[in-house]
Amino acid sequence: MGPETAAEFYLEIVKRSRPHIRDTYPPILIYSVPVPFEVERNMVENGRGEERMLPVLERGVRVLEEGGADFIVIPCNTVHVFHPRLASLLTVPLLNILDVTALACGARGWRRVGTLGTGKTLESRLYEKALEKAGMEAINLAGNRRSELSELIYRILSGKLREGDRGSLLEMIEELRLAGADGVVLGCTDLQLLITEGDDDLSLPVIDSMRCLAEEVVDRLKGK
């Protein structure tokens, strides 16, 4: 969805593809969804107005399918609230970042998973449902911290990060640790622009949903 994250996602697929390349990089179609800034902000910060986003998403998946895509992915967790609707429009698979990430959590042996994401992602219980389906429990931030996190995510999207934003995110991860989480899902693909899975100052291990989706893409390209 956001251009910077879309670029990172593309580069992650290319990087993961290199060990399996023989002649050329895989063909990739990218459609950068033109979401009006006002709609984006209202959905990310307030969890409202998502119906205004649906038409541009519907156009996006159709453009990709008409362009010859064998399967489609959306490296944005929040808009997976529309996954059933978008998948119903297509004759090719639309992968689900939530299910892919939940499986990665299970593979690490986690039972209680802290979740970080936009207000809409958390309010819609997207990760709670995916994790419960995979036999795990979701641990969420307190209400006021969710609002702070949504505001922080929008600052990433708008390129207006403040000094101390990364520290605030680390504090939220610590709060999830104290609440009993075994690890934390970066359930917004923009959060990987602030912290990554191998950072030394994390109080809990994290799983980056964007990288989980990229790994699934490469597995499909390899024919798994």
* CATH of the domain spanning 97-209: 3.40.50.1860
Q: Cβ distance 170 to 203 under 8 Å?
A: yes
Q: What's the confidence (pLDDT) of residue 224? A: 57
Task: Give the model's pLDDT for residue 22.
Answer: 76
Distance CA 44, CA 36 (A): 12
| pLDDT at residue 47 in the model | 63
pTM confidence score: 0.89
Q: Are 176 and 114 in contact (CB under 8 A)?
A: yes
Q: What is the pLDDT of residue 1?
A: 63
Predicted pLDDT at 185: 96
120-172: pLDDT as tens digits: 888 889 999 999 999 999 999 988 888 899 889 888 888 888 889 999 999 99
Which residues of the chain have a pLDDT value below 70?
1, 43-49, 224
223: DSSP letter: T
- Cα separation of 78 and 113, whole Å? 18
- Which residue intervals of the chain bear CATH 3.40.50.1860? 3-96+212-222, 97-209
Q: Which residues contact 220 (CB under 8 A, 6 or more apart)?
A: 71, 95
Q: What is the pLDDT of residue 44?
A: 67
Strand order in the sheet with 112-116: 137-139, 112-116, 183-186, 206-208
For the record, the structure tokens of 13 come out as 């697929």
Which pLDDT value is given to residue 46?
A: 63
Q: Which CATH number fits domain 3-96+212-222: 3.40.190.10, 1.10.3720.10, 3.40.50.1860, 3.30.70.260?
A: 3.40.50.1860
